[in-house]
Structure 1
Amino acid sequence: MKVSPRLALFEKKVFAWALYDWANSAFATTVMVVFFPLYFRQTMTAGLDGATSTFWLGMVNGISSFVLAVLAPWLGALADRGNAHLRFLIAFTVIGAIPTALLAFVGPGDWIAAAVLFAIASLGFWGGLTFYDSMLVQIAPRERMDLVSGFGFAMGYLGGALLLSLNVSMYARPALFGLADAQMAIRASFITVALWWLVFAIPLFRHGPRGATRPAIGALRAAREGFVELARTFRAVRRYRPIVLFLLSYWLYIDGVNTIMKMSVDYGLALGLPPGSLIMAILMIQFIGFPATLLFGWLGQRVSPLAGIFVAIGVYGAVTFYAVSMTTAGEFYVMAAAIGCVQGAIQAMSRSYYGRLIPVERAGEFYGFYNMMGKFAAVLGPLLMGTTALLTGNSRTAILSVGVLFLGGAVMLVVTMRAAGRAPSACQAGSVKAGQRAGSTR
């Protein structure tokens, strides 16, 4: 009996996988996007000027992403040899959740301790996503990959929005929750995020794909084999030009997405917008993102994920130019609504389109390479924006610099389409042949 695609989303393994996005998105929304930038600027770096605070926040985000990108081959080899992706996901969840909770106990002005804890928590968040994303090919058949990928991101938006709503209520009316003031509410929100992350990750920990156990290897051997595997995968990727071109395109435009996600609240504060308005704008993004990402998942399955990616890049490019002249909270709400329509879509469609390009029999290797590129993509944007703000002393110029990443990504995506013959099925066939040729050299 054929299962409806909509019903298939609620299969135990699929729903548990999507629920992890619900769990860890609390860190992305409450901590990474809203309250840590707010707390960092207003409390931790209160004695520094705005441009310097933006610089250090960009440095923290960029350096943590760079460290993870460097470690990715080693982690991938260590996990692959023991088929331990799920165990590594559990470990990185703990690495992310505990420092998040500890942020609640950092004193005012101690911005170095706050930055270190935030960097470690970010490593846990992004590192966990490396192993989470690689499970997509085990969770979903290729014909439902767009829909399932979109479902995961949509669940993330909904889960992140619900907890952020609670945290915003705590921030707006701390006495109602037995808290002394708004600053104490921010501290308490860090603890709620850690608990939310751990509790809702349990279903995937219980029902996630485990695979056959392989012999374990030592750390040094894993490190050596990790970089050998990286070189081997890179040689295989080079044999199929559309994959190379898409990864270059993805590296550029997803860097812009990550930068706007991480730095938008800091940018709003630099413009003098009230914190309450910025928080409400982030909530708008989350609640709009839930149905919008589901819609783009359906679009990707019925038409092509490339259509969704191009629409999203166009919207993001327009947003960067719009933000330069933005002066009011109402204008920030307009920007937030536009971002909410496409933020989850561009992430979900990129993940599933790449799944169509790569050879099925080597999906683990190729997704490892994809995630490593994604982590390097989180380095350039925050550093570019932070450095531009420091050199010019103008946050408006800094946000405009991010538009270069979207323009470059769009151009490379057009080149990718031409190289692939504008047909995902042809891309898939070509990549399988390339994978078979590469596999014969092992």
Structure 2
Amino acid sequence: MSNANRKSIWSWALYDWANSAFATVVMAGFFPIFFKQFWSSGVPVTESTYQLGMINSVASLIVVAMSPILGVIADQLGRRKGLLLLFACFGAVMTGGLYWVEKGEWQVAAALYVCALIGFSSANLFYDALLPIVSPSDWLDRVSALGFALGYLGGGLLFTMNVWMTLKPEVFGLANSADAVQLAFLLTALWWILFSMPLWLFVKETNQTLSTPLKSLTGGFKQLRQTLRKIHQLPQTYRFLIAYWLYIDGVDTIIRMAVDYGLAIGLDSNDLITALLLTQFIGFPAALVFGRIGERYSPRTAILLALTVYIMVTLYSIWMHSAWQFYLLAGVIGLVQGGVQALSRSLYSRLIPVKQTAEFFGFYNMLGKFAAVLGPILVGWVTILSGSNRIGILSILLLFLLGGYLLLRVDVSNGEKQAARY
């Protein structure tokens, strides 16, 4: 491989380092804690759990509606990279806006968070669509895993510094831990923008088509219907998308709701943050290892292994009472979380036409976010109806079991042949 290709791959992967700061510091870390303890202070824990689930679901519904059209437009314009950076900057600005939200203003915090999630999720659509363009076909698993590994490392490093700020605010000239958390939102926005620059400078797009923005927008809706027909004509791709929709719902719901669950059952927020750091730093080497497992045994086998671990973690979580148990589960999740995400992306990239990556990844992103609508609502409603956060978290099992069963029925070899004919 040439040095130019290697530079392109590393620059592409560094975007995961950039945007994982949002996923780790904001989405999984400080936002759920700060929302429950600062912006929604005084609200019962079951109600704030329901609010957080609804906020995530509203953002996901908007992304669901936007993703397929955005994917089609990106392919027609040949501007995946430009649209990625546009939405990344939008998400970063909204994240930085959380710095100025005052105590009790949960509605303002929710609105900014929804906008930040829209930017984050939409940018990921175009980031994923660039994978088959920057990576050789026999390196897809490895390159996809590299991105997630750098994401875990970068997000973990920034999160570590932010945690230090909350524990020792006086060292950084801050009045208290609340000021430190708000500053963390601003630093995350700057980190996100700064480390997006290598992708902008060194990743070169290919397979570009010539079209005007207006023609792409009007043609996008027509093309959307055609894309739906194409997916139905690729039965293995279609089957994988349904499986992915189900199991990634469980993964994303655990990412978004784990800290809220820990708080609801009485664990200390410092213990929960420590557990998240453990997940990040275990996830860095584990994602790389899973990339090699996918190359050796097939990505489908590695994903099924990860789903088995998730099922066991979910079952164990309903008996969890102490911080050390949360640490244990965080470490186990760190072993498989990056792997299931990375290999799902690389497996799907094998099952789609290479000249229509953004279009097909629009549906991939749509299903992933539509799943994230179902999961938090499912946990929130079951929690409200049962009056127990433990029963609520157990509802995720259904998603892992159904998703794993459908993934077993995907014929990857046949799916690759079908995609190659397009």
Name the TM tier (shorter chain). Answer: over 0.9
Q: Which range is displaced more, 369-378 or 302-311?
A: 369-378
- Equivalent residue runs for 1:249-398 within 5 Å: 249-398=243-392
Separation of aligned partners in 2, 1:217 and 1:170: 45
Aligned residue in 1 for 2:210: 214
For normalisation by structure 2, the TM-score amounts to 0.96
Q: How many residues align?
A: 421
Q: Contact conserved, 1:44 with 1:110, CA < 8 A, in 2?
A: yes
* Conserved? CA contact 2:95–2:188, under 8 Å: yes
Is 1:425 the counterpart of 2:420 in the alignment? no
Contact preservation (8 Å) 2:71, 2:360: no
| Fraction of identical pairs, as percent | 44
Query: Which of 5, 11, 19 is matched with 1:16 structurally?
Result: 11
Distance 1:79 1:429 in 2: 25
Shift of 1:369: 2.1
Q: Distance in 1 between the 2:108 and 2:186 partners?
A: 17
Provide the residue aligned with 1:439 in structure 2.
none
Choose which of 391, 394, 399 in structure 2 pairs with 1:400: 394
Q: CA deviation at 1:387?
A: 1.5
Provide, for residues 128-175 of structure 1, a one-character-per-residue CA deviation record: whole Å limited to 9, x for no partner: 000000000100011110000000100000000000000000011111
1:73 Cα deviation after fit: 2.4
The structural deviation recorded for 1:223 is: 4.4
Structure-to-structure mapping, 1:84-233, within 5 angstroms: 84-211=79-206, 212=208, 214-218=210-214, 222-233=216-227
State the match for 2:237 in structure 1: 243
* Structure 1 residue corresponding to 2:35, chosen from 28, 32, 40: 40
SS for the counterpart of 1:242 is: helix
Distance in 2 (CA, whole Å) between partners of 1:143 and 1:176 is: 48
Aligned twin of 2:67: 72
- Alignment partners' CA distance in 1, 2:53 and 2:347: 29
Q: 2-side partners of 1:249 and 1:339: how far apart?
A: 20
Deviations 1:285-338 (A, max 9, x none): 000000000001011112210121001100111111111110000000011011
TM-score for the superposition, normalised by structure 1: 0.92
* 1:400 aligned partner, one-letter code: L
Secondary structure of the 1:313 match is: helix
- 3-state SS of 2:407 partner: helix
Q: Give 1:236 deviation, angstroms.
A: 1.4
Q: Distance in 1 between matches of 2:389 and 2:308?
A: 22
Q: Cα gap change, 1:290/1:10 in structure 2, threshold over 3 Å: closer, same or farther?
A: farther
The answer to whether the 8 A contact 1:251-1:377 is kept is: yes
AA of the residue aligned to 2:213? I
Candidates 77, 80, 91, aligned match of 1:82: 77
Question: Deviation of residue 368 (structure 1)?
Answer: 2.4
Alignment correspondent of 1:440 = none
Q: 1:81 to 1:360 in 2, by over 3 A?
A: closer
Q: CA RMSD in A?
A: 1.6
Report the Cα offset of residue 10 of structure 1. 8.1
Deviations 1:356-386 (A, max 9, x none): 2223344343222222222212211011111
1:83, 1:214 within 8 Å by CA — same for their partners in 2?
A: yes
Q: Contact 2:99/2:185 (CA < 8 Å) preserved in 1?
A: yes
> Structure 1 residue 8: deviation in Å?
7.4
What SS does the corresponding residue of 1:11 show, helix, strand or coil?
Answer: helix
Q: Give the whole-Å Cα distance in 2 for the aligned partners of 1:9 and 1:287.
A: 29
Where does structure 2 lack aligned partners over 5 or more consecutive residues?
Answer: none
| Deviation digits for residues 242-265 of structure 1 (CA, Å, limit 9, x no counterpart) | 111111100000010000000100
What is the CA–CA distance in structure 1 between the aligned matches of 2:4 and 2:164, rounded to whole Å?
Answer: 32
**Aligned partners of 2:308, 2:354: CA distance in 1, in Å?**
31
